[in-house]
Structure 1
Amino acid sequence: MSQTTPRIAPLQPPYAPDIAGQFDRIMRGAPPLVLFRVMAGNARAWEKFRAGNLLDRGPLSLREREIAIDRTCARTGCEYEWGVHVTTFAEAAKLTDEQVRATVRGAATEACWSEAEQALIAAVDALHERATLSETEFADLSAHHDEAKIFEIILLCGFYRTVSYLANGLALPLEGKAARFPR
């Protein structure tokens, strides 16, 4: 069933001059897509969407960010990027060995995750499997995360799916000191 209104309201004209200029550059004078109008309503998400870089400090905690990235990389079978992230950030993100393993081998409902983390992982899994969130999944995610965090989660999943495509598609060799998928 298709929704007629986005879950997060799109910008409506008249647009701020800088946003109007960005829309014009992207759309070449045609009306901006709803996707662009929704994204532009969150300045950070819009900037990152256009820039394609999510490695800076954003609205998610380091732990939330790394859970989303690790799970996305695991679901795409990207041991290269998963290993780099686990090696670099797992300790700082306070991910236990059990949790690191669960990013690859566990369900979203594993007891090692908090309720908020379970909702996050379920959202990552849904985006990977279906490229969307059900109403229930969106509601569960919204119960723990505000709009800025939801934008960031969706953007991270997409960005790291792209990174995974690159690493896997280019058959990058695993980094010597990077973690390996648990067997």
Structure 2
Amino acid sequence: MRLNSPRLAPLTDAELDTEAEALVAPMRAQGRDYNVFRTLARHPAAMKAFMGFASYILSHENSLAAREREILILRTGFTCGSGYEWSRHVRIGQHAGLTDAEIDAIKRGPGDPWSDADNSLLRAADSMVAEHFIDESAWQALSRHFSEHQCIDAILTVGQYAMVSTFLNSAGVPLDGDVTLDAEMDRR
């Protein structure tokens, strides 16, 4: 977390106009009535556009396996200092097959205990967040383990989560009540 209080507070039920309610209602019905969506609902047109791309990244259409995708998302969220993103995706990462030890190791980045393929994902995420570019060494490693489509999806996944991390940090979106802040993610 970067801020003690939100700059843009999530909309309460009473504040949802018809258009915002139409966007939040499906999330509520799916059990995903999260502060990120209630904050994005302040700008319905932006939320609609965001949800289209975000839905692809988290779908089975993304050519990366869920575990690989979550390695990228968690590393991006950690590197961007997004306590919200990290907190929300720890559970998703566990569901995708990451162990608690692996999730903790994502904070340290490439190296042990990762396979060469997993290390290539971590290196690519680090390079993209730091330089907005995958350096040649990281690209060679990534492309040895992943297809062209998977490399494209890796770029798009990190890019989308760097963007959403920037939104979450800058708007000061508060954590949802069902997750807790990892002490390492408190950057206030």
**Structure of greater Rg:** 1
* Aligned residues of 1:98 and 1:112 also touching (Cα < 8 A): no
Which of residues 101, 104, 107 in structure 1 aligns to 2:109? 107
Say yes or no: does 1:96 pair with 2:112. Answer: no
* 1:1-183 correspondence to structure 2 within 5 Å: 51-53=52-54, 54-57=57-60, 58-87=62-91, 89-104=92-107, 106-109=108-111, 111-181=112-182, 183=184
How far did 1:182 drift?
Answer: 5.1
| AA matched with 1:129 | A
* Aligned residues of 1:72 and 1:160 also touching (Cα < 8 A): yes
| AA matched with 1:93 | A
Please provide the CA RMSD for this pair. 1.9
Q: Identity over the aligned pairs, expressed in percent?
A: 33
* Aligned residues of 1:86 and 1:178 also touching (Cα < 8 A): no
Give the equivalent residue in structure 2 for 1:6.
none
How far did 1:91 drift?
Answer: 2.1
Runs of 4+ aligned structure 1 residues displaced above 3 Å come to none
How far did 1:179 drift?
Answer: 4.6
Task: Report the count of equivalent residues.
Answer: 132
Residues 1:181 and 1:134: Cα distance change in structure 2 (over 3 Å):
same
* Aligned residues of 2:76 and 2:162 also touching (Cα < 8 A): yes
TM (norm. structure 1) is: 0.67
Q: Determine the C-alpha separation between the residues in 2 that align with 1:168 and 1:74.
A: 12
* Aligned residues of 1:63 and 1:95 also touching (Cα < 8 A): yes
Which structure is richer in relative contact order (CA contacts within 8 A, separation 6 or more)?
2
Q: Determine the C-alpha separation between the residues in 2 that align with 1:177 and 1:135.
A: 40
How far did 1:52 drift?
Answer: 2.6
Residues 1:129 and 1:92: Cα distance change in structure 2 (over 3 Å):
same
TM (norm. structure 2) is: 0.65
Q: Per the alignment, in what secondary structure is the counterpart of residue 94 of structure 2?
A: coil
Q: Determine the C-alpha separation between the residues in 2 that align with 1:182 and 1:98.
A: 16
**Higher-helix-fraction structure:** 2
Unaligned runs of 5+ in 2: 1-48
Residues 1:107 and 1:91: Cα distance change in structure 2 (over 3 Å):
closer
| AA matched with 1:97 | D
